[in-house]
Amino acid sequence: MSTQAKTRLARPRLTRIWRAAALPLVLLAAWEASTRLGLVDPHQLPPLEDVVARGWSESRNGDFLTALAASLGRDLAGFAIGAAIGTASGLLLGFYRPAQSILGPTLRVHRQIALFAWVPLIAVWFGAGEPGKIAFIALAAFQPSLINTWRGVQEIPDRFHELAAVLTFSRLDFLRFVGIPAILPAIFTGLKAALIYAWQATIGAELFMTIAPGIGGVMMQGRQLFQMDLVLLTILLLGLVGAGFNTLAGLSETLLLRRRTS
């Protein structure tokens, strides 16, 4: 019975993978065909194999890996700071009523301000160097972790509040047995979003603040030297790293919250 169920499940999954892969494959084929048929200027869109070759040579070249490591380090530092402050603020806002009325309105307005609008201010306050970049990335990670954690607290079902009241839980017991476990999925959603925002902000910071070792720097360099293969390579890499983050976050979530199927 279980094998039967498995095959029944396996088929749609395969279909799903094919469907997901269809568009990228078509795009790659179109790219390849257009460069081969000479439909586009190879300076503007180099052939696929050039990008692959560039990737190969760059991966053996220490500079590129150093740049990737620099970007990742910056990204994770900013993410850690921003997500920690964001999640903590979300908890404070959710569980401590006065904080909600004092900070809530300000934060709601803060949400309306586009992330990149903070760049000039951050550049002045923290400098455009490493601290400024990390502050910018942290700000990007702060927002989603705050909002999701806060909403998670608000969405703790009434029936659990009532249960805690009936069991005469102390505030601490409520947090330990009801509050925190109930909002873990929301916190995770926030962290996942923060991871993606932080990665985007990393490249943004590298492109719009001062040049520093990093993927954004490599991208700028590729543009200035008109090496489109390098630019395309960095774009592909950004996507891959982002997807990698997503997969890792998903895996750790299922691992940590495995038992909560109800």
Q: Closer to other proteins at the Cβ: 151 or 161?
A: 161
In the complex, least distance from residue 166 CB atom to other proteins, rounded to whole angstroms: 5
Q: How many C-beta neighbours within 10 Å does residue 112 have?
A: 7
Q: Closer to other proteins at the Cβ: 8 or 159?
A: 159
Q: How many C-beta neighbours within 10 Å does residue 118 have?
A: 17
In the complex, least distance from residue 260 CB atom to other proteins, rounded to whole angstroms: 5
Q: Closer to other proteins at the Cβ: 43 or 259?
A: 259
In the complex, least distance from residue 150 CB atom to other proteins, rounded to whole angstroms: 20
220 token code pair: 């700028």
Alpha-helical runs (H) found in the chain: 2-36, 48-60, 62-95, 97-112, 119-126, 130-154, 158-166, 171-173, 180-208, 215-224, 228-256
Footprint of other proteins on this chain (CB under 8 A)?
Answer: 159-160, 162-163, 165-170, 173, 177-178, 181-182, 184, 259-262
Q: Closer to other proteins at the Cβ: 178 or 218?
A: 178
Which residue, 138, 122, 129, 119, is CA-closest to 77?
A: 138
Q: Closer to other proteins at the Cβ: 2 or 261?
A: 261
In the complex, least distance from residue 85 CB atom to other proteins, rounded to whole angstroms: 26
CA distance 59 to 39: 30
134, 77 contact by CB (below 8 A):
yes
In the complex, least distance from residue 13 CB atom to other proteins, rounded to whole angstroms: 24
